[in-house]
Structure 1
Amino acid sequence: MNMALSLSSAVGKQVQPLVGNFQGSFSMEQFFRRKEKVVIVMGATGTGKSRLAIDLATRFPAEIVNSDKIQAYEGLDVVTNKVTDEERRGVSHHLLGSIDPNSNFSSHDFTYHASVAIESILARDRLPIVAGGSNSYIEALVDDWAESRFRYEFCFLWVDVSMPILQKFVSDRVDRMVDGGFVSEVREFFDPEGDYSRGIKRAIGVPELHDYLRAESDDADERTLTILLELAISKIKDNTCQLALRQLQKIRRLRNKRNWNLQRLDATGVFLTDGGNPNDAWDTFVLQPSLRIVDQFLSDDRRLITTPIVSPEAAPLVAAVSR
């Protein structure tokens, strides 16, 4: 039975266990049917992945599947920098703020739920756009799930920004997030025992604020609280910059070692528009090239599987058909 096709497209707030062998059963249809097309938007934090995914979804009949492991959890909307309802512009999002914040949402869980969402989107004759910064999730969906290459053809869009420029941007963004209620959100997840190893509590910003929130609960003086808050914000900035660097390194590894055909879009110019219009720069450097790439991808009918990756169990049957 094809598990992904048989399940409801609704994803509950509680992560459901994976049942049986997720690889699914072998069928000859997998080898000869046309592959469905999926767009994947990648990039380090702060590069504009969500913006590009939404821009594309307003120009093609599409829905978005979130692939950010922290944004998948319910809560901490400011801390995790989730797109707002206004920013979504009416585009349907899946796996965004829908997972129990106390659960551990693994890459295997993501593959399962993302495949269900993708199949539900395709069933409505719409384009699935997978977007987010958790490249381990994307790698699991594309390469670690055996059926993926049988079912889907992928178009990879990589939004890239010069790292020194990006790190200054994400540091400034932390200041804006603090002004927007960052600390108040984290306060609700403060753990006196300091256990931030599970679920949404792993989000950058939650463990970093522990000492400040503990001192606050102990009625520390204002000077102490000010110092601890400044230290926490500095650590949040450092850890966010380190995250961006790790994400970039992972993307390069996927390109070089996994041989993914990543379409690189250099968005550095968008962040350097001193006195200019950043929207014009975005349109020039990112959106228009992306529209051309996706349009060509969707109009390309060469979707028949020619070199399938065959499991050991299926190999004898494939060999028999090939004779």
Structure 2
Amino acid sequence: MMIMCKQVQPPVMQIPTGGMDFPVLRCRPQKEKVVVVMGATGTGKSRLSIDIAARFTAEIINSDKMQVYEGLDVVTNKITDAECGGVPHHLLGIVDPELDFTAANFASTASLAMKSIVGRGKLPIIAGGSNSFIEALVDDENHEFRSRYDVCFLWVDVAMLVLHGFVSDRVDRMVAAGMVEEVGNMYHPNADYSKGIRRAIGVPEFDSYFRAQFSSSAGEKTRAELLEAAINETKTNTIKLARRQLEKIHRLKTVKGWKIHRLDATRVFQKKGRDADEAWAELVAGPAAVIVNEFLYSFDHSRSFPATAEMGAAMATAIH
């Protein structure tokens, strides 16, 4: 069932009678609002975007350059229908896997999606790890985005050493979920790994394994060794990707001067089960909701959403 959360409406301005100079009340046309959720792979961007969408009436635009392609759902870690919680998602699994979908393609397609979402009175949330896509959209040559939208950047961050362990475990879970079979179904000995969905981490790494798998000369031991090597290479390349993503976020923050709100989820990843969920609410979802609420309705703090006492300190830290 689709989650529909009623947005808070701004108060009606009361204009006092008397000798007020009415031109003073003139305001610039208000820009539309957009939230962008950033972070390295595996940090919980999708989870946070859905948490925000559940509190504010919103729809999500995927900005992961591999998840825009149709197919390889396990390899690309596409969010499932169940995980979406009824929140509409755009640019997810819509592109022919053999084609190239560029940053410019994303900027134009995402712009159309944003206009559609805003036109239906909802908040666009852009979520994904491809910072080059986000940068192409936000800092376009014609400054169309900046002239039309105000943007709130949220960055879910996890200490790299902690993230390393999670990424390794996640690849193992992907293998158990059928990743190898999924890649094998689209394997071709003359495949071009420089275009389309075949650029995804977890595809080219298995080329040697599948060549041996379909070769009568390769023994079982050789195939097993090649499989293990492919899995380990997938883990290594995923960690390298996370580091590159982190470097780009730092560049956007320090060099380009983007105002990015950092949410430290490290403690979440150090816990399990209910303790992890409670840490997520306290350290990530709660503070993010406060930031977004202030971004949307900063002129009237009295209409902010109710917060639990346990979240107070973490929320205050996140805002300031």
TM-score range, shorter chain: 0.7 to 0.9
- For residue 251 of structure 2, what is the aligned residue in structure 1? 253
In structure 1, C-alpha distance between the alignment counterparts of 2:117 and 2:140, rounded to whole Å: 22
| Deviation string, structure 1 residues 268-312 (Cα, Å, up to 9, x no partner) | 00011167611001001100000100011110359xxxxxxxxxx
May I ask how many residue pairs the two structures share in their alignment? 272
With normalisation by structure 1, the TM-score equals 0.82
Contact map agreement 1:189 1:201 (CA 8 A) in 2: no
Q: Which runs of 4+ in 1 moved over 6 A?
A: none
In structure 2, C-alpha distance between the alignment counterparts of 1:228 and 1:241, rounded to whole Å: 20
- For residue 9 of structure 1, what is the aligned residue in structure 2? none
RCO (CA 8 Å, sep 6+): is it higher in 1 or 2? Answer: 1
Whether 2:222 is the aligned partner of 1:224: answer yes
Q: Helix, strand or coil for the counterpart of 2:211?
A: helix
In the alignment, which of 298, 301, 306 is matched to residue 300 of structure 1?
298
- For residue 81 of structure 2, what is the aligned residue in structure 1? 85
In structure 2, C-alpha distance between the alignment counterparts of 1:274 and 1:32, rounded to whole Å: 48
- For residue 19 of structure 1, what is the aligned residue in structure 2? none
In structure 1, C-alpha distance between the alignment counterparts of 2:111 and 2:127, rounded to whole Å: 14
| Deviation string, structure 1 residues 180-206 (Cα, Å, up to 9, x no partner) | 000011112212024211100000010
In the alignment, which of 95, 98, 108 is matched to residue 104 of structure 2?
108
| Deviation string, structure 1 residues 240-264 (Cα, Å, up to 9, x no partner) | 0000000000000000011000000
In structure 2, C-alpha distance between the alignment counterparts of 1:106 and 1:166, rounded to whole Å: 28
Deviation for aligned residue 1:222: 1.4
Which region of structure 1 is more displaced relative to structure 2, 266-275 or 241-250?
A: 266-275
Where do 5+ consecutive residues of structure 2 fail to align? Answer: 1-26, 301-320
Contact map agreement 1:41 1:53 (CA 8 A) in 2: yes
RMSD: 1.5
Letter in 2 for 1:43: G
| Deviation string, structure 1 residues 50-85 (Cα, Å, up to 9, x no partner) | 000011111110000000000010000000001100
Contact map agreement 1:194 1:210 (CA 8 A) in 2: no
Letter in 2 for 1:295: N
In the alignment, which of 165, 171, 183 is matched to residue 168 of structure 1?
165
| Deviation string, structure 1 residues 183-237 (Cα, Å, up to 9, x no partner) | 0111122120242111000000100000001111113321111000000001000
Which aligned pairs between 1:63-212 and structure 2 lie closer than 5 A? 63-145=59-141, 146-212=143-209
Q: Helix, strand or coil for the counterpart of 1:81?
A: coil
Q: Helix, strand or coil for the counterpart of 1:130?
A: strand
Q: Helix, strand or coil for the counterpart of 2:193?
A: coil
Identity of aligned residues (%): 57
With normalisation by structure 2, the TM-score equals 0.83
Contact map agreement 1:56 1:291 (CA 8 A) in 2: yes
In the alignment, which of 279, 285, 289 is matched to residue 287 of structure 1?
285
In the alignment, which of 276, 279, 288 is matched to residue 278 of structure 1?
276
Letter in 1 for 2:54: T
Q: Helix, strand or coil for the counterpart of 1:58?
A: helix
In structure 1, C-alpha distance between the alignment counterparts of 2:95 and 2:152, rounded to whole Å: 27
Letter in 1 for 2:150: E
Letter in 1 for 2:271: T
In structure 1, C-alpha distance between the alignment counterparts of 2:241 and 2:106, rounded to whole Å: 20
- For residue 263 of structure 1, what is the aligned residue in structure 2? 261
Letter in 1 for 2:275: N
Q: Helix, strand or coil for the counterpart of 2:101?
A: coil
- For residue 4 of structure 1, what is the aligned residue in structure 2? none
Q: Helix, strand or coil for the counterpart of 2:71?
A: coil
- For residue 307 of structure 1, what is the aligned residue in structure 2? none
Letter in 2 for 1:159: V
In structure 1, C-alpha distance between the alignment counterparts of 2:187 and 2:28, rounded to whole Å: 53
In structure 2, C-alpha distance between the alignment counterparts of 1:101 and 1:192, rounded to whole Å: 17
- For residue 25 of structure 1, what is the aligned residue in structure 2? none
Contact map agreement 1:41 1:132 (CA 8 A) in 2: yes
Deviation for aligned residue 1:121: 0.2
In the alignment, which of 221, 234, 255 is matched to residue 236 of structure 1?
234
In structure 1, C-alpha distance between the alignment counterparts of 2:225 and 2:195, rounded to whole Å: 28
In structure 1, C-alpha distance between the alignment counterparts of 2:280 and 2:273, rounded to whole Å: 14
